[in-house]
Structure 1
Amino acid sequence: MMNSVWRPYCQMKTAPPPMKIVATEGCHLIGENGERWIDGMASWWSACHGYNHPHVREAVTAQLQRMPHVMFGGITHDPAECLASRLAEMAPEDLNHVFFSDSGSVAVEVAMKMAIGHWRRHDRPGRTRFLAFENAYHGDTTGAMSLCDPQRSMHARYSGAITQQFHVPLPRDETTEAELNRVLAEHSDSIAGVFVEPLVQGAGGMRFHDVNTLTRIRDACRRHDVLLIADEIATGFQRTGKMFAVNHTADLHSPVVPDILCLGKALTAGTMSMAVTIARSHVFDSFYSDDPGAALMHGPTFMANPLACSAANASLDLFEQTPYEVGNIESILRERLSVLRDIDNVADVRCFGAIGVVQFRDPPNMQTVQDELVRRGVWLRPFGDCLYTTPPLCIVDESLHQVCDAMIEATHAVMAQSNSREVNQLR
């Protein structure tokens, strides 16, 4: 049978058939024969309130009956105006200029264009490159790929065909902080901004860092007069326990406020694709001119789609009305998954907010791990050397324990299979 669908992140020749889903409900995926799996991935971090939430569904249905879409060039509408105002109110300080796009990767590309354009308006046209960090992941489009780790990311094989950016280790100590400052000083004429995934690096390996690391990055940006760009496409909307990951610095003497903030994924509660790039006033003002040539020339066809804006507004309603216990999710994940530290092949178990990660020293066959999870009624998609969960924020304790049980049992089952094979090879 011909493969009409070219599927993501897999070798089409050898990958097993995908799992067919016909419906969703709450935190569950539902199969053709009524099988149910807890979605411990929240559809790649996006279904924050679970699936089919009636408030979101009703908002989108009502908007569909009025106006499903209209171009945003020269036209506006209430769902977009309302959403932009609410996001500006939620974001730190003067992050109050909201540019709409249709995916997280495009939001990153827009941030790059904003930064380059900002410096051109300030007579620094040579500032066209960016600094990002080892193990970074910022998306799959061409510009976003260039920000990903050029050796370790899934895009390493394209590194010779895309713009070469600067990559350094996260400044976790004095040595790595000095390296960051050295590169920024040596290339001050060419670096427009620094991209960071605040506190959690996602698809680059599910790695965490602390607020001190984040403040060192902010301080280096100030010292060398470059823009700080926070990619919170994955971490935004309470995934780390705060509305945005940078909010974890709010109690510091000098909180971290990025010059540009990228949001997506959970923005529309997993209903449809939309993202935003939010700029502080000094970035926006660089483009605010009587000169038409100074405008930000970008405009995706489906930017500010009214259906997506309505979903996002409904999602923000739920965040205002629902006191999610993200700390409770973190506590359960920490307590339950800690038992896996006793396995020799487990390098680390780490949890932060509604994120739980098991990292292997020698990765087992992750397809086998996934099969074991599915057999236990849980959907997770391991990658690289990590088995991880990012459950919906509305998940109940019973379901979260089932996710943890499945992760523990699947890990033990795969390790037992691996040990059995090694014994047989020695015979």
Structure 2
Amino acid sequence: MTSPVWHPYAHLKTQAPAPKVVGGDGPRFTLDTGESLLDATCSWWCMIHGYRHPRLVRAIQQQADELCHVMLGGLTHAPADRLARELVRVTPAGLNHVFFSDSGSVGMEVAMKMAVQYHHLRGKPAKRRMLTLMKAYHGDTAGCMAVCDPEEGMHSLFAGFLPQHHFAPAPTAGFEASREEVQADLDALRAVLEAHHEEIGALLMEPLLQAAGGLNMTSPHYLRGARELCDEFDVLLVFDEVATGFGRTGRMFAADHADVTPDIMVLSKGLTGGYLGHAATLATDRVHSAFIGDSPEHAFMHGPTFMGNPLACRVALESLAVFEEDDYLGRIQTLNGVLREELRDDAALRAHPAVADVRVLGATAVIEVHDAAALAGVADFARERGVWLRPFGRWLYTMPAYVTSTHDLRRITEVMKHWFIDRRAP
């Protein structure tokens, strides 16, 4: 019998039956066929502790025995209060206020509404457009779709439905580029701000790593320059760290590479280690203080039903504790060394005619090809070899769980390379 589940990003006429997952442990999940697959994608980049981590499971069980949910409207509870304090502690200095929601997309919607209302309350209601970057992806809700890449992104069908915002060219200088090499990208950003700053309320960006837009990697100098431009043109700087937060780029947050504090930061995915949906939008005192006043318009009119869910807050607290106590940043550095050695520095892979580029940053690696057809069949090829890979477009990537051993990571990179170089039998 065909399942009634409507799967995401799937072509209904040609999609193959989805493998059924029945369990997982560490960096692997198990199918009902008995197969154990090494998850190279960290279940859309959120299962940073792997599957069935005993401390995270226990935290959920204990919290469920106390309080599963209560509305945050007019009430509060200890897990939400504790998590907010912990997020203020670990994020860049100055992000002192935390608004919870239930997904990364909603967290970004909160950030955009916050930016528009901030300027309105300051007597600048014209500053209601966003500025974002080409190749950006910020989520699938309507507001987020409007600030995703309108040309190469997945939402072009909805162009007539969406509000219109401004876009700057995607940065072209790589992660290791100097300030001089980044200057052309910053000049392009300045040109858009000079032309439209009177109606731009915020610059949105995925710092250092544009994830679903093609795993593009940019320089910390770009973040510093963007911060300076936003200050110059009275534009809020919003960092979408849904994918980059909690170690993915090699530091706790991508902002830490540049020693930059955005005005607003959005977190999700690794926030709970992937164990429950949750998100947080953090703001500085400057943003928060604009909402303190006497008029009805000073209230921030947003309230997701499940914001601050006690189960999600409790597991997020345990996730952060495990991250720090088990030296995940050290683990990520080790994983990065393997990815650089096995993929980025592999001359034969880089020279393959199908390969356009190989990039590595933190616990992320991508092989970009010239034509998406070059990746047709790679998921089945990897599954036969005990690895779960899910490429998209022209990008074959891995974002492994941080508990992945170097041996298992080399197994992942071996499968990725063999797709191009030596397609041996399983």
Query: Above 0.5 in TM-score?
Result: yes
Counterpart in 1 of 2:32? Answer: 32
Equivalent positions of 1:190-339 (< 5 A) are: 190-250=199-259, 256-324=260-328, 325-337=331-343, 338-339=345-346
Contact between 2:352 and 2:420, CA under 8 Å: does it hold in 1?
A: no
Counterpart in 2 of 1:19? Answer: 19
- TM-score, normalization by structure 1: 0.93
Does residue 188 (structure 1) correspond to residue 197 (structure 2)? The answer is: yes
Q: Secondary structure at the match of 2:265?
A: strand
Q: 1:243 to 1:225 in 2, by over 3 A?
A: same
Taking the aligned partners of 1:342 and 1:378, their CA distance within structure 2 comes to 24
Taking the aligned partners of 1:2 and 1:374, their CA distance within structure 2 comes to 22
Counterpart in 2 of 1:67? Answer: 67
Does residue 362 (structure 1) correspond to residue 371 (structure 2)? The answer is: yes
Counterpart in 2 of 1:346? Answer: 355
Structure 1 position 61, deviation (Å)? 0.2
Counterpart in 2 of 1:54? Answer: 54
Counterpart in 2 of 1:45? Answer: 45
Structure 1 position 94, deviation (Å)? 1.2
Q: Secondary structure at the match of 2:401?
A: coil
Equivalent positions of 1:90-169 (< 5 A) are: 90-169=90-169
Structure 1 position 83, deviation (Å)? 0.1
Contact between 2:266 and 2:281, CA under 8 Å: does it hold in 1?
A: yes
Q: Secondary structure at the match of 1:137?
A: coil
Deviation sequence 1:280-317 (CA, Å, 0-9, x none) = 01101111223333111000011111100011000011
Structure 1 position 10, deviation (Å)? 1.2
Which amino acid is 1:143 matched to? G
Q: Secondary structure at the match of 2:30?
A: strand
Which amino acid is 2:247 matched to? Q
Taking the aligned partners of 2:185 and 2:341, their CA distance within structure 1 comes to 32
Q: Secondary structure at the match of 2:373?
A: coil
Equivalent positions of 1:381-392 (< 5 A) are: 381-392=390-401
Counterpart in 1 of 2:77? Answer: 77
Contact between 2:25 and 2:51, CA under 8 Å: does it hold in 1?
A: yes
The runs of 5 or more residues in structure 1 that have no matched partner are 251-255, 417-427
Counterpart in 2 of 1:420? Answer: none
Taking the aligned partners of 1:288 and 1:377, their CA distance within structure 2 comes to 55
Deviation sequence 1:88-107 (CA, Å, 0-9, x none) = 11111110100000000000
Structure 1 position 414, deviation (Å)? 7.2
- Count of residues paired in the alignment: 411
Taking the aligned partners of 2:392 and 2:424, their CA distance within structure 1 comes to 17
Which amino acid is 2:232 matched to? R
Q: Secondary structure at the match of 1:188?
A: helix
Structure 1 position 156, deviation (Å)? 2.1
Taking the aligned partners of 1:291 and 1:366, their CA distance within structure 2 comes to 56
Counterpart in 1 of 2:179? Answer: none
Counterpart in 2 of 1:393? Answer: 402
**Identical pairs, percent:** 43
Q: Secondary structure at the match of 2:159?
A: helix
Counterpart in 1 of 2:415? Answer: 406
Q: 1:53 to 1:92 in 2, by over 3 A?
A: same
Taking the aligned partners of 1:293 and 1:195, their CA distance within structure 2 comes to 24
The runs of 5 or more residues in structure 2 that have no matched partner are 174-181
Deviation sequence 1:191-247 (CA, Å, 0-9, x none) = 000001000000000100011111121111111110000000000001111110000
Taking the aligned partners of 1:176 and 1:199, their CA distance within structure 2 comes to 13
Which has the larger displacement, 92-101 or 155-164?
A: 155-164
Which has the larger displacement, 274-283 or 318-327?
A: 318-327
Taking the aligned partners of 1:404 and 1:176, their CA distance within structure 2 comes to 32
Deviation sequence 1:59-102 (CA, Å, 0-9, x none) = 11000011111111111100000000000111111101000000
Taking the aligned partners of 2:68 and 2:339, their CA distance within structure 1 comes to 40
Contact between 2:418 and 2:424, CA under 8 Å: does it hold in 1?
A: no
Which has the larger displacement, 372-381 or 335-344?
A: 335-344
Structure 1 position 157, deviation (Å)? 2.2
Which amino acid is 1:192 matched to? G
Deviation sequence 1:118-137 (CA, Å, 0-9, x none) = 00011001111111111000
Which has the larger displacement, 177-186 or 42-51?
A: 177-186
Which amino acid is 1:312 matched to? A
- TM-score, normalization by structure 2: 0.94
Taking the aligned partners of 1:186 and 1:413, their CA distance within structure 2 comes to 52
Contact between 1:369 and 1:414, CA under 8 Å: does it hold in 2?
A: no
Structure 1 position 331, deviation (Å)? 1.2
Taking the aligned partners of 2:102 and 2:374, their CA distance within structure 1 comes to 34
CA-atom RMSD in angstroms: 1.6
Q: Secondary structure at the match of 2:201?
A: strand
